[in-house]
Amino acid sequence: MSYLKIVGNGPLTGEITVQGSKNAALPILAACLIGEGPCVIENCPQIRDVEDTLSILNQLGVRTGRKASAVSVDASGIRNASVRGLQAERIRSSVLFLGALLGRMGEAVFSRPGGCAIGSRPIDLHLEVMEVLGARIFQEEEIIHADVKSLRGASIRLRMPSVGATENGILAAVCADGETVIENAAREPEVEELCRFLVLRGAKILRSPDGALHIWGKRPLSPVQFSLQPDRIVAGTYLCAAACCKGKIRICNLPYQELEAPIGILEKMGMKVAPDGNIWANPPLKGIGYLATEPYPGFPTDLQPPLMAALCTAGGQSRLCETIFDNRLTTAGQLRKMGAHIEIRGNCAVIDGTSCLHGETVSAPDLRGGAALVCAALGAKGETMLGGYDYIARGYENICRDLKSLGADINLTEGITDL
Ligand code: EPZ
């Protein structure tokens, strides 16, 4: 098993450029199933979730290729609508093929999606959206069948602004007869990026002032070349790493606007984050009082674990509440092993920021929890052995390369036993 060996060695310095967005890449790769290819997606991160998605496309009979960070997808040879097997079962975003396959093939058979163990993660909203657009859904234990003669536009109101259900609704609606309106649609930048990709190809999609998405279907979609925006969660993770280690770094392609909420919190802690990507984390930092995760543009759930790590040594008390997923505070247990003073009360972590963290043997509970433990280990005294690197590799193209260029002592090591 691979694990990370990290030695806390003082402030970070230097500059980096962050990878393209994982959570934009995944729905856009699914969108390449619609219309004729080949599309080229540039700045596409080389991470396991993307590689799994490309394997799923290949299983569908879709030709894909990669030249460095440019991925080509040509769906003209698609030959089936079955999303099954290891890759489909271990990533959450396999469900995003549902809308595109119904639109392209009139059917979809897929395994219940996997993904990080951060809560129950049902897909009821996805299935409801497809039924409203005219599809029939048949659910077995682990397999879901969906089919439709022809998707028809409809009005949909999501009971919660689910990112994935919004994206699936968009992918089906661009193939539906007539207009679809999605009310209470998610506003995450990755949803906007999917819409930009589809509009560039010829789709007609507008967001009204009340936030509803209006999609007029059945417009021909042409192949395009499209470059992904930087990954705001990876960038936000490195901001939290700087908060843990202190120092002065620069993120050359910092998606400043998309990180408004996290930057506001880090500046409340005492950091300075400039729009040009220059970041100062001079001690002492301080706690933030109360904060709850929220749908965009609120504080993103994906940065809750890295922020938890930063708050452990920020001085003062903080109360960090998770409102999006029902089991996403598990990183606290591993941080406590490193000396953190964190108490879980319901869906909140009460953090006493006066602790000093020490190196420890710990294990990543999931993707962003693993990234949080990297941040904590960088600021801890001594050596940390962090197991579960495979989780981190799902979303971070090369966390060692990135952090080494900021002066961190971090190495990927092959071990013979699970940590
Ligand atoms: C996307 O997941 C992201 N993943 C997640 O990032 C991110 O945390 C999440 O959005 C919230 O921003 C990708 O884009 C691939 P949701 P998604 O549907 O679409 C409930 C990462 O670390 N829900 O907005 O699965 C759900 O249980 C990952 O990069 C239903 O109840 O998130 C959750 O409580 C982790 N029924 C809430 O909605 C449904 O049918 C938000 O989930 C769908 C969701």
Q: Which residue, chain included where needed, has tokens 């396959």?
A: 101
Helices assigned H by DSSP within 113-259: 124-132, 163-173, 189-201, 232-245
Q: Given the CA of residue 167, which atom of ligand 1 is nearest to it?
A: 19
Find out whether 400 and 4 touch, Cβ atoms under 8 Å.
yes
Q: Comparing C-alpha atoms, which of 408, 411, 305 is closest to residue 8?
A: 408
pLDDT of amino acid 306: 98
Place of tokens 């999931």: 366
> Could you tell me if 98 and 131 are in contact, meaning their C-beta atoms sit under 8 angstroms apart?
no
Q: If you take atom 38 of ligand 1, which residue's CA is the nearest one? A: 162
Q: What is the pLDDT of residue 37?
A: 73
For 304-349, what is each residue's pLDDT tens digit? 999 999 999 998 999 999 999 999 999 999 999 999 999 999 999 9
Annotated catalytic, 116?
Answer: yes
185 SS3 class: coil
Q: Among 258, 236, 247, which residue's Cα sits nearest to residue 187?
A: 258
SS3 216: strand
Q: Is the pTM of this model over 0.85?
A: yes
Looking only at the bridges linking them, the beta strands covering 317-321 and 341-345 are: unpaired
Catalytic residue among 116, 195, 245, 321: 116
Please indicate whether residue 367, judged by its CB atom, sits closer than 6 Å to ligand 1: yes
Query: Which of 96, 107, 170 is closest to 138 using CA atoms?
Result: 107
Provide the pLDDT for residue 418: 52
CB atoms within 10 A of CB 254: 26
Q: What are phi and psi of 298, to 5 degrees?
A: -75, -175
What does the pLDDT read at residue 30? Answer: 97
Choosing from 160, 194, 326, 347 the residue with most ligand 1 atoms within 8 A of its CB, the one to mutate for a pocket test is 160
Residue 354's pLDDT is 87
Please list the ranges in the chain whose pLDDT falls under 70: 115, 416-419
Degrees, nearest 5: CA angle 170-172-173: 60
